[in-house]
Structure 1
Amino acid sequence: MAQDKNTTLAVIEQFLKLVQKEPEALTDDLPLYGEGLGLDSLEAAELSAVLEDKFGSDPFSAGGDLPQTVGDILGFYEAPATA
């Protein structure tokens, strides 16, 4: 499940262009909601679907805490798969 960070960032950036929410910089500590990217619940669900389609899993439906920052998403894909 481990993905290259740049590949994951490219998928997120492509999604953000689609929903017209392009930040100046996509940093690890940038919040997904509120004053960060300002995603609403529908946009978060759409991002979840995009990530699922691209990588076969996503941090929004994997259980546990929902991602709050771009870094949370990147960390999900960088984590080694458990057997």
Structure 2
Amino acid sequence: MKMKETITIAASALALILSTGVAAESAKALEKAHEKAESDLTLDPAHAKAEADLKTMDAKGEKKLDAAHEKSEDHLKAMDEKK
């Protein structure tokens, strides 16, 4: 292998190592920014209220669904008894 080829390969390897390091730092910075954005959202009172409202709506919807299911079962039992 010629000296020029050896230098080119070594330079390419060094560039690859450096770019990998930069990519890792960028990923770490991006993850940190994402965590900060999530914590900012969590601290927002409007966000907390919206989550509470969604939970309330889900609970009400589930109660209505359960009531409708029970009512349907009662109707089916009544129909079976009439036969």
TM-score range normalised by the length of the shorter chain: under 0.3
Given the two structures, how large is their TM-score scaled by the length of structure 1?
A: 0.22
Higher relative contact order (CA 8 A, sep 6+): 1
Given the two structures, how large is their TM-score scaled by the length of structure 2?
A: 0.22
Kindly name which structure, 1 or 2, has the bigger radius of gyration based on alpha carbons.
2
